[in-house]
Structure 1
Amino acid sequence: MELPNSKMWTLTHMISRKIITASVSGSLFAVLLGLINPFGGTITSFKHYLLTFVLATPVYLMYSFPFIIVYGVLASIISDKLSRWISAKLGAEKFEIMISAVLHLVFGLILRWYSLGASLLFFITDRLLKKNNREYKLKQAMKSLAIPFAVWLIFIGMVWIEHIL
């Protein structure tokens, strides 16, 4: 059965995949950033490191996820479309993935190392999801937004439990 507007249908699936990618990579980015760069000055013990990691992760998630969901999704769509167009113009379709990776990294340079890491994680996550050859629907994309919310709740819950104990 042919859909009436298959171009719009394909765009919807791509946007849905990009939103899922943002949910997964944004959550991973906050956790990794909390592990690598917990704020709080000098770390005096492993317990202090864990506490600052647990405190930093939801903060990183609150500030980075909105940026990743808006800017990351738009930049990724533009990167994919541009790389497809450039590789077609050059007659080098086999280089489309590399061109897309470079464009993702260029868009990721906006905040230097932080956003560069987020864009690389976004690109890898998106390629893994694309490799599955699944058709992602908008309903799945909306459900995926529960991932960063769940990560935030888990870490806030750990902060609360640590505060009580």
Structure 2
Amino acid sequence: MEVNKIISRKIISASVSGSIYSILLGLIMQNPFGETITSIPNYLFSVVLATPVYLMYSFPAILIYGVLTSIISDKISGIISVKIKNVKSEIIISGILHVAFGLILLFYSLGASILFFITDRVLLKQHKSYKLLQAIKSLAIPLAVWLIFMGIVHLEHILKVN
């Protein structure tokens, strides 16, 4: 039963952090397609266009790789902190392991792993018992982000044509 709660929390963390990560990446690297950005509206449209693309590629990796490596990081840090008899070191060791696992794609995955770690720790600090149904429902967050941004792209296309 404890394993389900951990996995559920990790899935919720992936849903929240993956959505935030794609939006932040869209704001920072809004030009993955190579167009020249000449105005603020052009920048904003580039952000709106890039965000769902980033979400489509990053979220599956964050969900699968992030959840697995986060569980591994937490388990290893828990074992090490018990061995060295310093429970407070668990968060530091876990953070270091999250960063280490996040270096797989350097800048891109490092940002995602740090955001995942922070999100997971915020959820952990709330001392709630997350259920699998909540985890499944949390998958609506990245879907909603994708639909909102794609809806804006579609609206822009409709308004541009008319």
TM-score of the alignment, normalized to the shorter chain, above 0.5: yes
Match of 1:116 among 110, 119, 135: 110
The residue number in structure 2 matching 1:65 is: 59
The residue number in structure 1 matching 2:142 is: 148
State the TM-score, normalizing by the size of structure 1: 0.94
1:126 aligns with 2:124: no
Cα deviation, 1:17-36, whole Å, max 9, x if unaligned, reads 00000000000000000000
Counterpart Cα distance in 2 of 1:94 and 1:38 = 39
Match of 1:10 among 2, 11, 19: 2
1:92 positional shift: 1.3
The residue number in structure 2 matching 1:3 is: none
What are the residue-to-residue correspondences of 1:5-84 with 2, within 5 Å? 9-39=1-31, 40-41=33-34, 42-84=36-78
Cα deviation, 1:37-85, whole Å, max 9, x if unaligned, reads 0124332110110010000000000000000000000000000000000
5+ residue gaps in structure 2? none
1:94 positional shift: 1.0
Moved segments of 4+, more than 2 Å:
none
Please give the root-mean-square deviation of Cα atoms over the aligned residues, in Å.
0.6
1:107 aligns with 2:101: yes
State the TM-score, normalizing by the size of structure 2: 0.96
Counterpart Cα distance in 1 of 2:112 and 2:154 = 28
Cα deviation, 1:95-143, whole Å, max 9, x if unaligned, reads 1000000000000000001100000000000000000000000000000
* 1:163 maps to amino acid: H
